[in-house]
Every structure is written in C-alpha cells, then in structure tokens.
C-alpha cells in the first residue's frame, strides 16, 4: 500500500508521534493506521489515540427543558454564516420547542411535527432553504424524561448535553452537564468501560515496560499495571475525572458528598461524524487551466 503524506499526517495528529516514526510505523504495518497506532503506543512513541473530531457540518445544537423533560436537537447548515442568520436561528428555536412539546423521540417524528404556522418541521425547513440558499438539515434529536433531576446545557451553540441525576439538586445537575460538555467522557462509571478496552490497555502498558520492570515479582508487576489501568479508566469515565468546577475533587467524590448518582448523560456536538470536503481552489483552477 502506498504511504501517502496525508496518511502520515493523520497518524501524527492522532498519536502525537514524530513524522519519521509515523512513516516508519505505516511502512512496517502496510499502511494500516489502527495497527500503526497500537505499535507506536507499545513502543512508547505515541500518546493515547486522539481520533480527529474535526467536523464539516456547521449549524447549532439547541435545547429546551421543562418539568423533568429535556431535548437537544442538532440542525445543520453548510456555513457558519448561515448558522447565524436570523431565518436559521428562528427556525432552530421553533424546532426545539416543538420537539419538547410534541414528545418526538426520533428525527422522522420530529420532521412530521407541526409548528405554530400549521406547516410541518420539514415543510418549514424547505422554506428556510429557499431563503438562505443553503442546504439545511434537521439531523439529530435526543431527549430525557425522568422524575429525577434533569439538566440541559448548551455551550456556544456547538455542544449540547443532557444529564439525569438521582439525588442532588438542579444546580449540581447543571454543573455536571457543563463538565460533560467540557471533558467529553466516553463512559459514566468504571463498570461501563468495555472489558476489551481494558485488556488492550493492559497489553499496551506491559509492552511499554522495560525488561527490568518486567523482571519484578508477579504480584508487584500486577500492582504496577493495575495502577496504570486505574488511571486510564479514570480518564475515560465521568466519575473518575476531576470535576471542572472543583478540580480538587473527582466527580465521584462530589457526587458522594451530595448523596447523588448520575443515571446517565447524552452529548451532541455540531457535525460530529460528518466528513468535510476540503476544497483546494488553487489546485482546481490550475487543473482547469491545464497547468496541473
């Protein structure tokens, strides 16, 4: 397989390793980026995989909440300019309001819901497209309904979070939603972390050890590995992370003091999972002019 500059660049961005190390790893692993990441980590040349979360779609995350119910809706546009257009922002507000009041739990039912004008969300979306001159898409919805504390938080119109909290109070629930927005923990508690993830991390930590460390008694070696894994698990769980509003305590410690428990959370970021096409206009002009 050809090892392209873009492939090397992607590996470097995801691992933090040097360009030469990345190219060597890709050559040795026939261009397989996932295997190369693991090889670099085992050799101690890479940090944990930083999968690129750069996204293409612009737009907003909007939230609505009342009496134990909360929803987040993602609405996309092609450019940030349109995402700030009054026609777009008014549409987004009306959509999230009807999402909450209608009980819609999926995109199809939300698109079919009727707004105050009598038109459906999808019909109104078509009218907005005609006004702004760009594709507009009502892409995702998540909702929570519970007798527990429910918090909805949106940061900068780009990231939205819903949190369900048993015990505690509304202020703590909102603080935890802010934490999830900032830190993006993949899991809630240590018990939620997949066993295969833990097994893989153990394998990687063992491979990174020196021969001197590996020669230590089995019980001591196990304690060393367990300590490293516990740190990794804390980094990928809400409960294990330092609380952003009080970094002297972990989220788990804050919750224990409040007699509370996070039942679950949901997080949306604008455009995540959408591939962006980056146009090289200079190359395109040269190609059309027969110069490339």
Residues 88, 104: Cα–Cα separation, whole Å: 21
Residues 162, 70: Cα–Cα separation, whole Å: 7
DSSP notation for 213-229: HHTS-HHHHHHHHHHHH
Q: What are 195-209's pLDDT values in tens digits?
A: 999 999 988 888 888
pLDDT of residue 42: 84
Residue 48's pLDDT band, with cuts at 50, 70 and 90, is low
pLDDT of residue 17: 81
pLDDT of residue 281: 47
Answer yes or no: do 38 and 65 share one domain. Answer: no
pLDDT of residue 283: 57
pLDDT > 50? residue 53: no
Decide which of 145, 176, 211 is a domain's last residue: 145
Rounded average pLDDT over 161-170: 96
What residues does 15 pair with on adjacent strands? none
Give the closest residue to 102 by CA, choosing from 135, 69, 68, 140. 69
Residues 80, 179: Cα–Cα separation, whole Å: 25
- 153 inside domain: no
- 118 inside domain: yes
Q: What is the CATH number of the domain that holds 9?
A: 1.10.8.10
Contact 95, 106 (CB under 8 A): no
pLDDT > 90? residue 51: no
pLDDT of residue 275: 61
Q: Is 73 helix (H, G, I), strand (E, B) or coil?
A: strand
Number of domains in the chain: 2
pLDDT of residue 114: 96
What residues does 162 pair with on adjacent strands? 152, 266
Residues 206, 217: Cα–Cα separation, whole Å: 14
pLDDT > 50? residue 187: yes
pLDDT > 90? residue 282: no
Answer yes or no: do 68 and 17 share one domain. Answer: no
Q: Is 32 helix (H, G, I), strand (E, B) or coil?
A: coil
Report which of residues 39 and 172 the model is more confident about: 172
Q: Is 100 helix (H, G, I), strand (E, B) or coil?
A: helix
pLDDT of residue 56: 35
Q: Return phi, psi of residue 2, to 5°.
A: -70, 130
Answer yes or no: do 137 and 93 share one domain. Answer: yes
Tell me how crowded residue 60 is: count the other CB atoms within 10 A of its CB.
Answer: 24
Rounded average pLDDT over 247-256: 97
pLDDT > 90? residue 52: no
Answer yes or no: do 64 and 134 share one domain. Answer: yes
- Average model confidence (pLDDT) across the chain: 88
pLDDT > 90? residue 215: no
Percentage with pLDDT > 90 across the chain: 63
Domain carrying residue 112: 58-145
Going by C-beta distance under 8 Å and a sequence separation of 6 or more, which residues neighbour residue 228?
201, 205
pLDDT > 90? residue 244: yes
Tell me the H-state helices in 103-194: 107-112, 121-132, 170-183
Q: Is the dihedral of CA 123, 59, 84, 180 positive or negative?
A: positive
Contact 234, 250 (CB under 8 A): yes
Q: What are 25-47's pLDDT values in tens digits?
A: 999 999 998 899 888 888 877 65
Task: State the Rg of the chain over Cα.
Answer: 24
pLDDT of residue 280: 52
Rounded average pLDDT over 221-247: 93
pLDDT of residue 261: 98
Answer yes or no: do 87 and 36 share one domain. Answer: no
Q: What is the CATH number of the domain that holds 68?
A: 3.30.479.20
Query: Which helix (H) or strand (E) element contains residue 66?
Result: strand 58-66
Residues 266, 268: Cα–Cα separation, whole Å: 7
pLDDT of residue 33: 87
Rounded average pLDDT over 5-23: 84
Q: What are 102-144's pLDDT values in tens digits?
A: 999 999 999 999 999 999 999 999 899 888 888 899 999 999 9
Contact 105, 70 (CB under 8 A): no
């Amino acid at each position: 397989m050809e090892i392209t500059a873009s492939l090397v660049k992607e590996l470097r961005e995801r691992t933090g390793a040097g360009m030469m190390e990345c190219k060597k790893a890709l050559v040795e692993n026939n261009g397989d980026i996932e295997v190369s990441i693991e090889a670099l980590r085992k050799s101690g040349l890479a940090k944990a995989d930083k999968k690129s979360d750069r996204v293409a779609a612009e737009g907003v995350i909007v939230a609505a909440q009342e009496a134990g119910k909360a929803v987040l809706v993602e609405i996309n546009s092609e450019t940030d300019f349109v995402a700030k257009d009054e026609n777009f922002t008014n549409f987004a507000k009306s959509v999230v309001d009807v999402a909450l009041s209608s009980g819609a739990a999926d995109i199809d039912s939300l698109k079919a819901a009727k707004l105050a004008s009598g038109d459906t969300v999808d019909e109104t979306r078509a009218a907005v497209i005609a006004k702004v001159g760009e594709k507009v898409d009502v892409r995702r919805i998540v909702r929570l309904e519970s007798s527990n504390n429910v918090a909805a938080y949106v940061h900068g119109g780009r990231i939205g979070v819903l949190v369900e909290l048993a015990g505690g109070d509304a202020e703590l629930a909102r603080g935890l939603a802010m934490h999830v927005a900032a830190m993006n923990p993949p899991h809630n508690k240590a018990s939620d972390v997949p066993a295969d993830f833990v097994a893989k991390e153990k394998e990687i930590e063992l491979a990174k050890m020196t021969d001197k460390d590996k020669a230590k008694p089995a019980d001591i070696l196990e304690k060393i590995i367990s300590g490293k894994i516990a740190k990794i698990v804390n980094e990928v769980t809400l409960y294990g992370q330092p609380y952003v509003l009080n970094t002297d305590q972990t989220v788990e410690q804050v919750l224990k003091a409040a007699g509370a428990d996070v039942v679950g959370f949901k997080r949306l970021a604008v455009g995540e999972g959408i591939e962006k096409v980056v146009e090289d206009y200079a190359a395109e002009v040269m190609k059309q002019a027969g110069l490339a």
